Amino acid sequence: MARSGLATAEFLSKRGARVTVSDNRPAAGLDTELRLLAEHSVQCETGGHTVERFLQSDLIIVSPGVPLSIPALERAKQAGIEIISEIELASRYLQGRVIAITGTNGKTTTTTLVGEILRTGGFTVQVGGNIGTPLISLVESSRTESWNVVELSSFQLEAVPAFRPDIAVILNITPDHLDRYRSLDEYAQAKFNIFRNQTGGDFAVLNAEDPRLAAVASEVRSEVFWFSGYREVTRGVGCDGEQMLLRIGDSRQTILPRHSVPLKGQHNLENVAAAISTAHLAGVPSDRIARAVQNFKAVEHRLEPVAEIAGVWFYNDSKATNVDATIKAVEAFESGLILILGGRDKGGNFRDLSLLVRKRVKRLVLLGEAREKIRLQLEGTAPITDASSIDDAVQLSFKQAAVGDTVLLAPACASFDMFQNYEHRGREFKASVARLARGER
């Protein structure tokens, strides 16, 4: 009974289906959701999944947070019942062309930027999926002439037997969600479903710097277009150090100077290169692409500048929910960092942060369930302070900072131990910074 589940239930009910929603959570605390579903004559079971209900179904749509390995779904699969994701269901009704974007990190920034570039290019655009609006909720407003720009997580790509985007984008593959997947390879295979159903008339936009993507490129049936934030590529968009360049064979075209990219961090050059590649394939003229990129502002919770207080800057990167995302965030700053880490562990190896922390971080401020694991793995890399809450973390960080320093929230963990989601964590961080600026405790 979360966002995509509620939207799916409503969509199917309006089309005459007999719908049951099954949620592991107890009914207490789900009053709003239950009232909404009752208005659409949807049956509900709470407090667990009844195998018999699953076996009575003709079709099962799985919400992203539910693993396909739960017993009720395993039994349904054995019984030959079709099991699909909300993305697959939406794609069967959606009009217009589809740009699908996935990757461990950078999805939301790239998806938002692609949407902005297409709008600047004069296209009719809808943006949704893992960002904001569920794809199923975009079906009714979709048109044959529109572009649907969709952010997708690995969870959403687990049950997509026929989903076929016109342009599929994979930004990177690094360790994440290893509390759900048995291995990094299993996680990567879920991501690769984004191009499994493509054909020769489609495009796959891949990161030339990612060895897993380079290795899988020969399996892609669509036309591969590369991107890089570090060098030129022979077919795609790269950076020669000074310019963002579009190159197809011997043809080279400058899109915009590197210094005019407004987003902070080397990783964002990769996101911009991916977005430029995608927009070019969609038919946006180069001058419109450049204009949209130059006018783009950082997305909320992604290296978002929050405030400057007494010479100390505060940045919100609450979306850094895995170790690799935190590495990219830290790399965006040279030194003088007070780094706030912690939350719910997703199976990450915090030791991967060691070298960067030694070089650039003055102090670590730890909070949440993963605090002791982080302490164990990063002991000796920088002084460590414990915080009891996000407000406490902001206050303690400011006390340890000097003029010119930066306080960075880039937790390397999920947020669900203390917050509803990473957005909630980021908003609370910003509220704490605002109180600090006003001199409140």
How crowded is residue 390: how many other Cβ atoms within 10 Å of its Cβ? Answer: 28
Contact 192, 213 (CB under 8 A): no
> Computed from CA positions of residues 255, 167, 235, 228, in that sequence, does the dihedral angle turn out positive or negative?
positive
Closest CA to 86 of 7, 25, 24, 151: 7
In residues, how long is the chain?
441
107 as an active site residue: the answer is: yes
399 as an active site residue: the answer is: no
319 as an active site residue: the answer is: no
Query: Which residues are registered as beta bridge partners of 340?
Result: 365, 409
Q: Of the listed 107, 267, 280, 319, which one is catalytic?
A: 107
**What 8-state DSSP symbol labels residue 202?**
S
Distance CA 434, CA 441 (A): 11
Distance CA 168, CA 203 (A): 6
Structure tokens at 333: 């700053």
Q: Of the listed 130, 207, 268, 322, which one is catalytic?
A: 130
Distance CA 109, CA 339 (A): 22
Query: Which residues are registered as beta bridge partners of 339?
Result: 364, 408
Q: Of the listed 105, 148, 172, 177, which one is catalytic?
A: 177
- Compute, in degrees rounded to 10, the torsion defined by CA atoms 346, 348, 350, 355: -140
Catalytic residue positions, numbered: 107, 130, 177
